[in-house]
Homo-oligomer: A and B are copies of this chain.
Amino acid sequence: MTCDILIEGAAVLAMDAAGTIHAPGYVAITGERIVALGAGRGRDAPEAWDAPSIIAGSGLIVMPGFVNTHTHVAMAAFRGLGEDVPDRLRRFIFPLEKRLVTRELVRRASEFCIAEMLRSGTTTFADMYYFEDEVAHAARRLHIRALLGETVVDFPSPDSAEAYGGIAYAGRFAAEWRGDSLVSPCFAPHAPYTVADDKLRETCEEARRLGARILMHVAETEAERDLYAARGTSTLRHLDSLGCLGPDFVAAHMIHVDAADIELAAARGMGVAHCPASNSKGGRPIAAASTMVEAGVRLGLATDGPLSGNGMDMQGIVGLYPKLQKVRLGRRDVVSAQDAVYAATIGGAGALGLDDITGSLEPGKMADILVADARSFSMLPVHDWYSTVAFSMRPSDVAWVLVGGKIVRDRSGLTTVDEEELLDSIIRVAEDCRREQAGL
C-alpha cells in the first residue's frame, strides 16, 4: 500500500486509551490523516507500506504532538520584562499592553512564539489575547492547530476603544474564520474579576450562538477566591450559576477550587488548562491537578504566556507537572511519567474538546506528530519511553513535527518560514518595547 509519509522508529507511543506502544513501530499518513500504525517496520507490515517520503531511524520516538492548552503567544514580545516587579498584572502588564500592543506587534510576536512551539513539538495550542485574527494568520502561515480566544474585558483594550468591544470583535473573527481546518476562533472573557456578570452571560451566549468555544482565566487569584467566598460561593459555582460551564468551556489555572468545584467541573465536562510553571513562578498554591484528573475532569497542561511562563516548550512543563503534584501530596507514587505524557497530549486535546481529531496516534485522526531523536546526551539511555519523554527530552531533541500531515519542522528547522527573518523581527519588536517601556 502506498501512503504519503511513512514514519518508522524505535518506539511509537500512541497515547490511545489502551496505552499502546509499538517498539519498534510505524505510522502511515495520507493527506491530513493517520491511515495506519503498528509494530515493526511499515515496509514489512502485512500491508507493506511504502511512501515517497520516509522518516526512519533506530533512535526515533514517535508520539502525538504536544497540546499547549493556555498561552498568550503575542506576549513573547515582553518575555523577561519586569520579571521581578510586584503586582505585575495591574501595575505593569496592563499599562504596558495599552501602550505597546498593536496589530503588527501581535502578528510578529505570534509568528516568533509559534515558531518556538512548533520547533519543540507542540502541534496544537489555545490562546487568549487581542487582535486574535492576526494570531490566526500567524498560525496558518506557520501551520499549527489553534483555538484562538479574542479577549473580552471591562476596560478599553489594545484592539477595542470601548470596554467589552471584544464581544463584537470575537463575533467578526468567528464569522471570518468559520470552517478553517486549523484555526478555531473562540471567545475569551478575561477573568471573573474583569468581566461583569451580565457581560459574561452575554459573551457565553454569543459564543454558543456562533458555535465557538469559551476560554477563560478561572480561580487563579487569592482576591478572586475571597470575593466569591464572601458571597458564600466559589468562582466556579458562580460561573455555573451564570450558565458558563460546559464541554465548550476551558478554564485556565483552577487553583482555588474545593471538592465541590472539582465534582462540578467533572459533571459539566469542561476543560482545565493546568499551568504549573507560571503558577509556581507566581508563588501560587499548587493546583489540585491530579485530583481533578482522578475525579474525571478533562485536564491538559500549558505553558501560559511567555511573560508569566517564559519558556514556551512543553518539555519544560511535562516534567514539572508530576514534580509539583508529588510535592503537593507528599508522595512520589502519584502522577507517573505516563500520566504526565498523557496530560501533555491526549489529555490536553480532551480539555480543548479536540480529542476526536488530535492528541493521540490512531487511524483516522489528524497526523499531528512529534518525532524525537533519542540519540542525544539528554535522552540516552532509554529504559522507559515515558520517563524519557517526561523528564529527559529537551526542545533540541525534536527532529520532525507534522501538523495535519504536513512536515512543518525537520532536522534543519521550520519548513514553512525563514527562521532568520523571525529572529530579526522579534529583536526589532523588543527594541521598540524597551523604548516605550522606559517611559512607564
Contact = CB atoms under 8 A, between A and B. Distances in A.
Contacts of A78: 383
Contact of A381 (B322, B329, B429): B429
Contact of A327 (B283, B426, B430): B283
A332 interface: yes
A335 to B, nearest CB: 9
Interface in A32-64: none
A353 to B, nearest CB: 29
Which of A88, A280, A334, A419 has the largest count of B CB atoms less than 10 A from its CB? A280
B79 A383 contact: yes
A31 interface: no
A311 B391 contact: yes
Contact of A80 (B324, B327, B336, B388): B388
A81 B383 contact: yes
A51 to B, nearest CB: 28
A421 interface: no
A332 B283 contact: yes
A377 to B, nearest CB: 4
Interface in A67-86: 76-81, 83-84, 86
Contact of A310 (B88, B320, B332, B391): B391
Interface string A253-289: 0000000000000000000000001001111111000
Interface stretch (A111-119, A123-131, A224-232): A111-119
A336 B83 contact: yes
A116 B326 contact: no
Interface in A13-32: none
Contacts of A331: 283
Interface stretch (A207-215, A293-301, A354-362, A392-400): A392-400
A280 B391 contact: no
A380 B426 contact: yes
A174 interface: no
A237 interface: no
A137 interface: no
A34 B377 CA distance: 29
Contact of A394 (B313, B337, B384): B313
Given A283-B334, A311-B391, A312-B378, 17 more contacts: A76-B381, A79-B383, A79-B387, A80-B382, A81-B383, A83-B387, A277-B323, A280-B326, A281-B323, A283-B332, A284-B327, A285-B327, A324-B327, A380-B423, A380-B427, A381-B429, A383-B434
Interface of A: 76-81, 83-84, 86, 88, 112, 115-116, 119, 277, 280-286, 310-313, 316, 319-320, 322-324, 326-327, 329-334, 336-337, 375-378, 380-384, 386-388, 391-392, 394-396, 419, 422-423, 426-427, 429-430, 433-434
Closest 9 CB pairs of A and B: A381-B430, A396-B396, A310-B391, A283-B326, A80-B387, A280-B323, A283-B332, A116-B377, A83-B387
